[in-house]
Amino acid sequence: MQEFLRVRREDDLLPVEQTILEESTPDSIAVVIIDGIDHIIEDNNGAPLRYVFGKQDRQSKALDVSFTEDNQRVVASFIDDAYRRAARIFSPDISRTYVDAMAYRVADPADAYEFEEALVEARVSVAALGLVTEVQPLFDAEAEKVAKTWLESYNAAIKGLSHDRQESYRQIREMSAEPQDVDLVRPEGRFEMTKAREHDVETSLPSYKKHLLCDAQGDYPAVLNSWEMRVIEVEAKREGFSFWYRNPQQPGQSSLGIAYLVGEQYGIVRPDFVFFATQADGTVVADIVDPHGLHLADALPKLQGLAAYAETHANAYRRIESVAEALGKLRVLDLTKDDVRQAIALAKDAAGLFSGALAVDY
């Protein structure tokens, strides 16, 4: 969240928090997040957290708990310690800006005594929140929600930035605990090996035509296995075929990554190929075709992740297919079909899917 605020200031984006947070102060993020979890805890426990430390009620001017002269110093020390522990959860910056924002909200800075009192009360609120056992997941969830709202609101402005600056926001999205949709950037160049050396003998790598990126002669060097070569051969013969794109297996703005779940951990599968075709009306459509190995332990979770992506992104592609070897030949599953996705979701292993009736010969 703090990284988002930093890069947003660097890019001089407009203060959308005026509409999101109903105020445009720099402290808005701290107020929204900490107030949010405070209200959640209050709703669940039935009592505001200010009662934990005997915080003064400004309207009644009465203390919730009375402290004697002798133990006030001990209580103050305890509150300071609890505040420091809370700041490790919320981060020192968010804790500090929340305290400042809340003090300015309820007190006049010109009145030194009143303002000092307000600062102490705000520190008590932060300290009390830090003592709640479940506050960390609540804080993370609230921060995630605010960050997602901000990124969505700034999306159009971010798209207008340079690719280098957009990369900063892509990295912020990748910090999310849950997968986030990120727009791909059209690749403009890539370094690829053109030669290989083995036993001090240098040989040229095979090259292919019609790749989205190519040299001046229209060649793209690549080392492909037999499945991948077969897929390119078949797809290049389809009506309207225009060009193909080997999806980079490294993270980047031009690499399509799809989330899949193994246990409680997310992984990323990067489909091998995207093919582009020109239809009769002149529109260009994209097809994902992913040669899928079945020998690895995560073969089924990856297939399930690709199927889930096909369900939510069907409008972005003409075809989304997974190809694997079964019954001695290449077989394909059409992930745009409901019955295929349902079978994948319920499957115990991937090999049975490609051997079954839902798959067809490729």
* pLDDT beyond 90 at 234: yes
pTM: 0.62
pLDDT band for 62, please (50, 70, 90 cuts). very low
In sign, the C-alpha dihedral spanning 78, 79, 80, 85 is positive
Tokens 């694997």 correspond to what residue?
Answer: 324
Torsion angle (degrees, nearest 10) of CA 328, 305, 289, 287: 150
List alpha helices for the chain, DSSP H: 2-11, 17-20, 28-45, 72-90, 92-106, 112-130, 135-153, 155-159, 163-174, 226-236, 299-312, 338-346, 350-355
* pLDDT beyond 60 at 61: no
Distance CA 154, CA 14 (A): 8
C-alpha 291 chain-centroid distance? 26
Tokens 């972005």 correspond to what residue?
Answer: 316
- Which of 117, 178, 192 has its CA nearest to residue 148? 178
Distance CA 114, CA 43 (A): 29
Q: What pLDDT is attached to residue 316?
A: 93
User: What are the counts of helices (DSSP H) followed by strands (DSSP E) for the chain?
Assistant: 13, 14
Higher pLDDT, 358 or 99: 358
Distance CA 123, CA 83 (A): 7
Percent of the chain with pLDDT over 90: 38
Continuous segment of H or E residues that includes residue 291? strand 284-291
Distance CA 133, CA 116 (A): 29
Tokens 């060009």 correspond to what residue?
Answer: 243
- Which of 295, 223, 309 has its CA nearest to residue 260? 309
| Tokens read off for 312 | 């939510």
| Tokens read off for 303 | 């297939």
Higher pLDDT, 59 or 194: 194
Q: Hey, how many other C-beta atoms are within 10 angstroms of the C-beta on 288?
A: 25
Distances (CA, A) of 275 to 110, 165, 234, 334: 66, 28, 11, 15
Higher pLDDT, 11 or 315: 315
Collect all residues with Cβ–Cβ distance below 8 Å to 336 and sequence separation of at least 6.
310, 314, 317, 319, 320
Q: What is the pLDDT of residues 139-164, one digit of tens each?
A: 777 777 777 777 777 777 777 777 77
Region 53-75: mean pLDDT is 48
Q: What is the pLDDT of residues 249-307, one digit of tens each?
A: 888 878 899 999 888 788 999 999 999 999 999 999 999 999 988 888 899 999 999 99
C-alpha 50 chain-centroid distance? 35
The average confidence (pLDDT) of the chain is 79
Distance CA 99, CA 126 (A): 8
Domain range summary for the chain, segments of one domain joined by +: 2-174, 210-361
Q: What pLDDT is attached to residue 354?
A: 96
Distance CA 160, CA 147 (A): 19
Distance CA 90, CA 143 (A): 10
Distance CA 212, CA 274 (A): 10
Q: What pLDDT is attached to residue 318?
A: 96
Helix (H, G, I), strand (E, B) or coil at 102: helix
Percent of the chain with pLDDT over 70: 77
pLDDT band for 26, please (50, 70, 90 cuts). very low
- Which of 180, 337, 341 has its CA nearest to residue 258? 180
Distance CA 306, CA 283 (A): 25
